[in-house]
């Protein structure tokens, strides 16, 4: 049987390029083969994630670091490396970055990318919103879980930051504010590759995720949702809840695998950069780095006009 095309198009440095996804054979087996539905139940469960986690935390796994770095041309000079080196592949995977390598946008109204990722924007979210290619049902209440009130975010803006396995996997504050306690929502661990949306699967509301409410200093309440993915059974938060922190402050990290950070804003409280919206309207993600300005928050004096 001929394999389906698993490539996706992304925008990088204002050029469209073809992304060859990590784990292409697993993606094909799980989402594009006749056995897919059966395999999904096994591969997207927590057991496989736990086994993968055990493997990547083993001492032997450190021998996979050098080939991975070479294959993906990762510049290790950007990262803080322990004097004794990385003890496992997972230690390497959750490596921390040197602050000077990810400068933080300094404009008072700046919204920054919370992570290194590919960004896709839905400026006005509805149940008919287009996720990459296909219209999929999207429930805000399901996305945020029973603990959080979804109504303030009706017709809000959703920014989806997709991380690949070779990315820096910490996530940070998108603007100055106070992160509140996180809430875990159990779920499966589907891949977050755009191919999955094309298969009529909505990982944002089916995958395990952690919801972090953030009260920004300008009065806007934002929902940050860390979404687990295939081979990502561990999302670790490192912040102190209810403590004000500046833009760019680290909030947590993902263990091995691809994953997603989603930011959800109330209607008309954020203005995403026009070029990012235009690219997303074509069904294309844009490569961004942590600290890069991706939008502007409305000033406190004008925000009330839009609520």
116-155 residue pLDDT tens: 999 999 999 887 777 776 667 788 999 999 999 999 999 9
d(CA 161, CA 115): 7
- Spell out a b/e string for 53-68, using b for 16 or more CB atoms within 10 Å of the CB, else e: bebbbeeebbeebeee
Q: Catalytic residue at 249?
A: no
Strand, helix or coil at 213? Answer: strand
Q: Which of 278, 284, 250, 229 is nearest to 172 (CA)?
A: 250
Confidence (pLDDT) at 4: 46
Under the banding of pLDDT at 50, 70 and 90, the label for residue 53 is confident
pLDDT surpasses 60 at 2: no
d(CA 305, CA 230): 41
Q: Which of 156, 189, 176 is nearest to 49 (CA)?
A: 189
pLDDT surpasses 80 at 300: no
Q: Catalytic residue at 190?
A: no
pTM above threshold 0.85: yes
What is the C-alpha end-to-end distance of the chain, expressed in Å? 53
Burial status of residue 292 (CB atoms within 10 A of its CB: 0-12, 13-18, 19 or more): middle
Give the number of residues written for the chain. 307
For the segment 245-294, what is each residue's pLDDT rounded down to a tens digit?
Answer: 999 999 999 988 778 999 999 999 999 999 999 999 888 899 999 999 99
Query: Which of these is catalytic: 148, 169, 172, 190?
Result: 172
Mean pLDDT of all residues in 214-237: 90
Mean pLDDT of all residues in 59-78: 93
Backbone region of residue 237 per phi and psi (left: phi > 0; alpha: psi in -120 to 50; beta: other values): beta
Q: Among residues of the chain, what percentage have pLDDT more than 90?
A: 59
260 CB-side CA count, 13 A: 32
Q: Which one has a higher pLDDT value, 11 or 181? A: 181
Query: Which of these is catalytic: 49, 116, 117, 169?
Result: 116
Q: Which one has a higher pLDDT value, 164 or 14? A: 164
Under the banding of pLDDT at 50, 70 and 90, the label for residue 192 is confident
Confidence (pLDDT) at 302: 47
Contact yes or no for 226/275 (Cβ under 8 A): no
Q: Catalytic residue at 113?
A: no
């Amino acid at each position: 049987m001929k394999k389906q095309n698993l490539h996706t198009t992304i925008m990088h440095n204002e050029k469209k390029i073809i992304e060859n996804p990590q784990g292409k054979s697993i993606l094909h087996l799980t989402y594009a083969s006749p056995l897919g539905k059966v395999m999904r139940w096994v591969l997207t469960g927590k057991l496989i994630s736990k086994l993968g986690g055990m493997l990547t935390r083993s001492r032997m796994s450190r021998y996979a670091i050098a080939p991975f770095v070479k294959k993906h041309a990762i510049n290790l000079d950007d990262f803080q490396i322990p004097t004794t080196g990385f003890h496992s592949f997972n230690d390497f995977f959750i490596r921390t970055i040197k602050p000077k390598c990810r400068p933080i946008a300094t404009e008072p109204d700046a919204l920054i990318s919370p992570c290194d990722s590919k960004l896709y924007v839905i400026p006005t979210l509805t149940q008919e919103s287009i996720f990459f290619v296909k219209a999929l049902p999207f429930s805000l209440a399901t996305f945020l879980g029973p603990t959080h009130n979804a109504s303030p975010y009706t017709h809000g803006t959703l920014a989806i930051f997709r991380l690949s396995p070779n990315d820096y996997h910490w996530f940070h504050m998108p603007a100055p504010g106070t992160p509140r306690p996180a809430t875990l929502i159990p779920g499966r661990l589907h891949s977050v590759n755009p191919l999955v949306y094309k298969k009529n699967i909505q990982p944002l509301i089916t995958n395990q995720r952690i919801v972090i409410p953030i009260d920004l200093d300008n009065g806007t309440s934002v929902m940050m949702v860390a979404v687990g993915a295939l081979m990502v059974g561990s999302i670790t938060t490192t912040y102190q809840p209810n403590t004000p922190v500046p833009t760019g402050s680290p909030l947590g990290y993902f263990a091995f695998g691809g994953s997603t950070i989603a930011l959800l804003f109330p209607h008309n409280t954020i203005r995403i950069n026009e070029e990012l919206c235009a690219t997303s309207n074509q069904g294309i993600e844009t490569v961004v780095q942590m600290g890069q300005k991706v939008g502007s928050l409305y000033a406190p004096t004008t925000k009330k006009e839009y609520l």
